[in-house]
């Protein structure tokens, strides 16, 4: 029905109703003669009662259809705004239903949009994860250490190699110096990094001013605490800076990448080579001088008596002998270093043989097989050159003597490896073989200026040709120096650690501000925390109770870094009561051979450098730490937060602020309690849950949190 018609009908209905009512009343009044006055009144009463009833029903229906339904629609629309997936039911007047349908269409459109956005976010996240995974895998594979830091020197990313190379396995220290959010300055000298950064900025400035975009990056060499020598390459991390009215779009340095090479071995070798040269030149001068002086004297003064002459001759003999000995010992002492004149790579011998077989088979149209291979042999070779040499020899055997079947063998002979290229049947004479060894290698269109001999010499090896007449076998034998099997690198990509998100990197730290701000005014969410707990022999540090375990974990960017934890038992050198064993489960036997506090505490101090300390009932633990400060010459002077006090800030009306009670209130599941590390992790989780609650109370910065803590009653407890 059209609304206009509906209106006409409604007006008509009201009019008819009114007319009928008036007509009824008139008829009642007019036809009054035949009726008593009382009857007339009661009829009139009934009539008006009926009219009222009709009016009531009509208005109620209209109210339900237009007013109630509208309000309901409004409420449900409100709910629909808040949650996706809700639809309005079909009710009310026709018009209202039309509104409902329109709202539903709107909601559907919004839901579609939402799920689209969600999908894209998921995709973006997945691709980000994938890239991170790739990066982590790549970094894990690198032979060098890689560390990425922001301008504050905070570590954002590092690989396993870096962890291995830079950790200092000192006594009592299980904590690493390298960690996400940790300062790189605990590993490297601050001035050194600052100087390198300055050079990077300088380079950047020159490039921005239109200078040639040469290589960016700078080098320095430094020593680690463990005494290793590292060469570091530092390159800048650049971030785009948006265009502003003042200046065009550009980029600025927001951090740096350090790539480290352990050059201890190389420089040791260099030093040894220098020593060799020196011993050969300077060490030779003295004896040579003596010989020369004696020889010249004899020849210049031929008239000297025989006895005199004999003395000079014996000088010459002695000195010549001494010189020979000197030369010999130098040559043997330095032979390992002298041979590294060409960049040789270390290679598993069996791999080289397998590659040679493939290459000979492919290029020389003859059958090559492996006769025997010592799988444990590592060689130090120029593998490309050697493969060329082997296939060159095979090709000539095939071309000139129609050899179709070639065998390769690799075996160990003392300090050397023997690589044999063997065949049965006709063979050339030694002279021809020597010519082959000396000819430039030209095989399969590959021309090389080098001969087989050159290549073998490069590998510091020797080659010769040999025939066994009885068996009709002939072979070229190449003697090669062996290499040590390479040091195994523990390869642990971030991903294969308990399948959780790798924690080797945290790029969010890039947001950390530059400069040296007071921690106090930083938001709690941006601080790095060391959450720790101690187990002790008893409750009274002043009465001689001692720490027997320290456990700690770190929070950076609101994430618990479970891979970077500190967990150490401590020998208290003090009686451990059975009573306390019941609490923490640590028995005296477990403490035998553990480091003492004098060794553990400095390591813990390094572990929590530059972070805010967090503990449950921190006053207790801090007291134990502080009692040792003077004796050990360290200070735990960083800011401290106490989850017990913070709990009292958040829930002032609760009686219980024990860790279990708080955990329950905040929905943290408790596992592994009453080990120091277990409690530290629970405390860390509780602390993270507290941050939003504190924020809701207007407590955002460290200063605010400390001030609020101080106001609470518990702050007055002193141990």
Active-site positions? Answer: 674
Site for another protein (CB under 8 A): which residue of 61, 208, 243, 296?
296
Least separation in angstroms between CB 312 and another protein:
7
Q: Does 315 bind another protein (CB under 8 A)?
A: yes
Q: Which residue has the tokens 């456990």?
A: 551
Which of 374, 384, 376, 388 is closest to 345 using CA atoms? 384
**Cβ of residue 252: shortest distance to another protein, in angstroms?**
47
Q: E-strand spans in 24-66?
A: none
Answer for which of 41, 56, 301, 384 binds another protein (CB under 8 A) is 301
Q: Which is nearer to another protein, 53 or 277 (CB)?
A: 277
Nearer to another protein, 282 or 484 (CB): 282
Contact between residue 177 and residue 166 where contact means Cβ atoms under 8 Å apart:
yes
Buried b (16+ CB within 10 A) or exposed e, 259-284: bbbbebeeeeeeeeeeebeebeeebe
Angle at 401 between CA 399 and CA 404, to 5 degrees: 75
The verdict on 294 binding another protein (CB under 8 A) reads: yes
Per CB under 8 A, does 533 bind another protein?
A: no
Which range binds another protein by CB under 8 A, 295-303, 359-367, 392-400, 503-511?
A: 295-303
**Span near another protein by CB under 8 A; candidates 100-108, 310-318, 508-516, 682-690:** 310-318
Q: Is 319 in the site for another protein (CB under 8 A)?
A: yes
Nearest approach, Cβ of residue 288 and another protein (Å): 4
Nearest approach, Cβ of residue 273 and another protein (Å): 17
- Which tokens hold the place of 142? 């690198």
CA dihedral (29, 34, 37, 39) positive or negative: negative
Choice between 125 and 325, CB closer to another protein: 325
Q: Which residues pair with 443 in a beta bridge?
A: 446
Given the rule CB under 8 A, which of 75-83, 313-321, 396-404, 435-443 is the region that contacts another protein? 313-321
263-292: contacts with another protein (CB under 8 A) = 281-283, 285-286, 288-292
**Is the Cα torsion angle 104, 106, 112, 115 positive or negative in sign?**
negative
Q: Which two tokens stand for residue 123?
A: 């995709």
Cβ at position 285, least distance to another protein in Å? 4
Q: Which is nearer to another protein, 291 or 586 (CB)?
A: 291
Give the residue with the Cβ less far from another protein, 42 or 321: 321
Stretch of residues binding another protein (CB under 8 A), selected from 148-156, 297-305, 493-501, 558-566: 297-305
Rounded CA gap, 642 and 710, in Å? 10
Q: Interface residues for another protein in 555-574 (CB under 8 A)?
A: none
Rounded CA separation 682/196 (Å): 41
Closest CA to 405 of 352, 354, 364: 364
Structure-token match 């690799």, residue found: 410
Compute the distance between CA of residue 150 and CA of residue 157 in angstroms, rounded to an integer. Answer: 10
Q: Does 221 bind another protein (CB under 8 A)?
A: no
Q: Which is nearer to another protein, 244 or 281 (CB)?
A: 281
| Count of residues that bind another protein according to CB under 8 A | 23
Binding flag, residue 312, another protein (CB under 8 A): yes
Min separation Cβ 276 and another protein, Å: 16
Interface stretch with another protein, choices 90-98, 311-319, 566-574, 624-632 (CB under 8 A): 311-319
Residue 181 φ/ψ region, left for φ over 0, alpha for ψ in the -120 to 50 degree band, beta for the rest: left
User: Out of 209, 246, 300, 630, which residue is the one contacting another protein (CB under 8 A)?
Assistant: 300
Distance CA 281, CA 709 (A): 74
Specify the residue, 318 or 508, whose C-beta has the smaller distance to another protein: 318
Asked if 455 and 389 count as a contact pair (C-beta separation under 8 A), the reply is yes
Residues of this chain, 648-667, that bind another protein according to CB under 8 A: none
State the nearest-atom distance from the C-beta of 319 to another protein, in Å: 6
Closest to another protein by CB, 323 vs 598, is 323
- Within 13 Å and on the Cβ side, how many CA atoms surround 665? 20
- Min dist CB 301 to another protein, Å, is 7
Of the pair 81, 288, the CB lying nearest another protein is at 288
Comparison of 23 and 271: residue with beta carbon closer to another protein:
271
Nearer to another protein, 164 or 297 (CB): 297
* Cβ contact 638:613 at 8 Å: yes
- Considering only the stretches 9-17, 199-207, 299-307, 505-513, report the one whose residues sit in contact with another protein under the rule CB under 8 A: 299-307
Enumerate residues 6+ apart whose C-beta is below 8 A from 644: 616, 617, 618, 657, 659, 662, 714
Residue 283 CB, shortest distance to another protein, in Å, is 8
Closest listed residue to residue 427, CA positions, set 451, 386, 397: 397
Burial class (CB in 10 A: 0-12, 13-18, 19+), 65: middle
Residues 6 or more apart whose CB falls under 8 angstroms from that of 85 comprise: 111
CB of 271 to another protein, least distance (A): 17
Find the binding residues for another protein in span 124-163 (CB under 8 A): none
Per-residue x/- marks for another protein, 452-491, CB under 8 A? ----------------------------------------
First to last CA, the chain: 85
Return the structure tokens found at 139: 């970094």
Can residue 311 be called a binding residue for another protein (CB under 8 A)? yes
Closest CB 282 distance from another protein, rounded Å: 5
SS3 letters for 569-634? ECECCCCCCHHHHHHHCCCHHHHCCCCEHHHHHHHHHHHCCCCEEEECCHHHHHHHHHHHHHHHCC
* Segment interacting with another protein, rule: CB under 8 A, options 91-99, 265-273, 293-301, 554-562: 293-301
Q: Segment near another protein (CB under 8 A), from 114-122, 296-304, 343-351, 366-374?
A: 296-304
Q: Is 517 exposed, middle or buried (0-12, 13-18, 19+ CB in 10 A)?
A: exposed
User: Strands 529-536, 345-348: parallel, antiparallel or unpaired by DSSP?
Assistant: unpaired
Instruction: Give the binding site for another protein (CB under 8 A).
Output: 281-283, 285-286, 288-294, 296-297, 300-301, 304, 308, 311-312, 315, 318-319
């Amino acid at each position: 029905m059209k609304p206009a018609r509906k209106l006409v009908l409604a007006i008509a209905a009201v009019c008819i109703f009114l007319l009928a009512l008036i007509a009824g009343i008139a008829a009642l009044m007019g036809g009054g003669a035949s009726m008593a006055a009382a009857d007339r009144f009661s009829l009139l009463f009934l009539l008006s009662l009926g009219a009222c009833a009709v009016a009531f029903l009509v208005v109620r229906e209209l109210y339900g259809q237009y007013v109630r339904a509208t309000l309901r629609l409004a409420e449900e629309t409100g709910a629909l705004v808040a949650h996706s997936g809700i639809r309005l039911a079909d009710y009310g007047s026709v018009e209202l239903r039309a509104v409902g349908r329109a709202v539903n269409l709107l909601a559907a459109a919004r839901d579609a949009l939402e799920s689209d956005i969600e999908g894209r976010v998921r995709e973006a996240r997945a691709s980000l994860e994938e890239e991170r995974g790739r990066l982590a895998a790549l970094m894990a594979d690198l032979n060098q250490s890689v560390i990425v830091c922001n301008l504050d020197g905070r570590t954002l990313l590092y690989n396993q190699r870096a962890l291995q190379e830079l950790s200092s396995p000192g006594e009592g220290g299980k904590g690493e110096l390298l960690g996400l959010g940790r300062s790189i300055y605990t590993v490297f000298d601050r001035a050194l990094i600052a100087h390198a950064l300055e050079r990077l900025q300088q380079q950047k400035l020159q490039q921005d001013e239109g200078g040639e975009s040469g290589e960016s990056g700078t080098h320095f060499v430094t020593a680690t605490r463990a005494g290793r020598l590292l060469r570091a390459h530092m390159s800048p991390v650049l971030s785009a800076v948006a265009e502003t009215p003042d200046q065009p779009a550009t980029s600025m340095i927001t951090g740096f990448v350090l790539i480290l090479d352990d050059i201890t071995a190389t420089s040791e070798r260099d030093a040894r080579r220098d020593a060799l040269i020196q011993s050969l030149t300077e060490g030779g001068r003295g004896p040579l001088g003596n010989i020369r002086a004696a020889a010249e004297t004899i020849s210049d003064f031929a008239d000297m008596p025989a006895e005199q002459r004999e003395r000079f001759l014996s000088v010459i003999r002695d000195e010549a002998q001494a010189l020979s000995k000197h030369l010999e010992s130098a040559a043997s002492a330095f032979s390992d270093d002298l041979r590294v004149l060409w960049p040789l790579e270390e290679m598993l011998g069996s791999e080289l043989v397998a590659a040679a077989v493939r290459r000979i088979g492919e290029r020389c149209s003859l059958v090559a097989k492996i006769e025997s291979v010592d799988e444990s042999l590592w060689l130090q070779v120029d593998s490309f050159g050697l493969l060329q040499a082997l296939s060159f020899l095979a090709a000539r055997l095939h071309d000139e003597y129609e050899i179709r079947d070639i065998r390769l063998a690799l075996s160990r002979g003392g300090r050397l490896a023997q690589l044999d290229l063997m065949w049965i049947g006709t063979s050339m004479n030694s002279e021809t073989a020597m010519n082959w060894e000396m000819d430039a290698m030209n095989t399969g269109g590959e021309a090389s200026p080098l001969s087989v001999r050159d290549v073998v010499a490069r590998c510091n090896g020797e080659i010769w040709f040999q025939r066994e007449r009885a068996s009709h076998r002939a072979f070229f034998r190449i003697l090669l120096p062996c290499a040590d099997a390479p040091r195994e690198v523990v390869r642990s990509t971030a991903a294969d650690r308990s399948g959780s998100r790798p924690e080797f990197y945290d790029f969010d730290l890039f947001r950390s501000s530059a400069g040296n701000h007071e921690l106090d005014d930083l938001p709690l969410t941006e601080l790095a925390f060391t959450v720790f707990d101690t187990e002790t022999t008893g409750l009274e540090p002043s009465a001689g109770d001692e720490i027997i375990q320290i456990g700690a974990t770190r929070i950076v960017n609101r994430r618990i870094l479970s891979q970077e934890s500190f967990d150490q038992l401590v020998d208290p050198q003090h009686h451990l009561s059975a009573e306390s064993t019941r609490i923490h489960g640590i028995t005296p036997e477990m403490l035998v051979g553990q480091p003492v506090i004098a060794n553990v505490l400095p390591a813990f101090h390094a572990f929590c450098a530059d972070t805010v300390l967090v503990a449950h009932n921190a006053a207790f633990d801090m007291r134990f730490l502080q009692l040792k400060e003077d004796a050990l010459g360290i200070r735990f002077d960083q800011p401290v937060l106490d989850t017990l006090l913070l709990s009292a800030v958040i829930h002032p009306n609760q009686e219980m602020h024990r860790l279990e009670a708080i955990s329950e209130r905040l929905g943290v599941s408790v596992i592994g309690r009453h080990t120091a590390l277990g409690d530290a992790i629970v405390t860390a989780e509780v602390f993270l849950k507290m941050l939003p609650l504190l924020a809701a109370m207007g407590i955002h910065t460290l200063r605010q949190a400390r001030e609020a803590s101080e106001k609470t009653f518990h702050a007055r407890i002193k141990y």
